[in-house]
Amino acid sequence: GFRRVCEAVTTTALLLILASTVTHAGWNLLSKQERPSAAFMLVANTLGMVLLAPALVFYGSALRSFPLSVWLLVGVTGVCQSIYFSGLAGAYRWGDMSVAYPLARAVPVVLVAAVSLALGQRDQFTLQALAGMALVVAGSLLLPRQRFGVFRARDYVQLSTALALLAALGTAGYSLVDDHALRLLRESSSLKVGVVALTLLYALLEGVSTSLWLGCAVLARREERAALRRVLRQPLGRPWLAGLGIHLAYTLVLVAMAYVTNVSYVVAFRQLSIPVGAALGVAALGEPAHRPKLVGVALMFVGLVLVATG
């Protein structure tokens, strides 16, 4: 229970994750307001990498000692990140942030936990944690509904919902890949730099990989090429601010991973941004606050607390 999570998550990790959640909800609001597109995400991600550039100046020599397996994982995580950004942009373009954001944030908890269970880490999960995951699933099923007692297939058969789930799949993928890559780096005897330096270098490489893969996806589609031209013609203040949020939020999470014993707890605590993101969608964007949506967000939040403390 509570003692278990205290052993798995340090105060440092918790503070890092809380700062990350607020930042994450903020850049998602910016992205939703800016005619969401993979092109906007590409520009934001690329501009945001400026934040991490100093790591290359101070610690770049350590890259020569990175194991080959880590370089391969950098490529894989870039694919997962590009899937996440493309799915999220599409979900915001076709639907409400107050539905897409909670789905894209919460579903990875269940996916990462399922993979952890499949890999034999059953001792890491209690009945309470499993009950919490069930609440997350139940809340996810309520989110798209407009009214209780009236089942309408069209509430679920929506492009925005499918794209939010695609974003969730990407999140689960890069969470698992990044955890493995950072463990390899921390355990490498040939690397003589600290945990924070390794994390910043890895985050920079991940950003480059993401922009390369996402750039390919953008250039492959005519509407995204048009969106890219539109974004580049406008002032870059908003994409730069969103990019700053993207890299700051996730770099904080990557550092936090060094202070936990199970990456599932990091993914779970990050979901504290779910009620924040849903509230921003309703308050700042004027999205409808249907009762099933509010109950769904509450169930997901409670479920994630159970997972995190289970």
In the predicted model, is pLDDT for residue 9 greater than 80?
no
- Judged by average pLDDT, the poorest of 15-29, 62-76, 224-238, 251-265 is 251-265
State the average pLDDT for the chain. 89
Q: Which residue has the tokens 């599932």?
A: 264
pLDDT digits (tens, 9 = 90+) for 141-200: 899 898 888 778 788 889 999 999 999 999 999 988 998 999 999 888 788 888 888 888
Please answer whether residues 260 and 10 qualify as being in contact, where contact means their C-beta atoms are separated by less than 8 angstroms. yes
Least Cα distance to 41 among 296, 211, 265 occurs for: 211
pLDDT digits (tens, 9 = 90+) for 201-250: 999 999 999 999 999 999 999 999 999 999 999 999 999 999 999 999 98
Q: Using 50, 70 and 90 to split pLDDT, how confident is the model at 7?
A: low
Q: Which residue has the tokens 């964007």?
A: 285
Q: Which residues contact 20 (CB under 8 A, 6 or more apart)?
A: 248, 249, 250, 252, 253, 256, 270
pLDDT digits (tens, 9 = 90+) for 97-131: 999 999 998 888 888 888 878 877 777 778 888 89
Q: Using 50, 70 and 90 to split pLDDT, how confident is the model at 47?
A: very high
Q: Two tokens at 203?
A: 């985050």
Q: Give the rounded percent of residues in the chain with a pLDDT score beyond 70.
A: 95
Please answer whether residues 46 and 243 qualify as being in contact, where contact means their C-beta atoms are separated by less than 8 angstroms. yes
- Class of residue 118 by CB neighbours under 10 A (exposed 0-12, middle 13-18, buried 19+): exposed
pTM for the structure as a whole: 0.88
Can you say how many angstroms the Cα of residue 161 is from the centroid of all Cα atoms in its chain? 16
Q: Two tokens at 196?
A: 């924070």
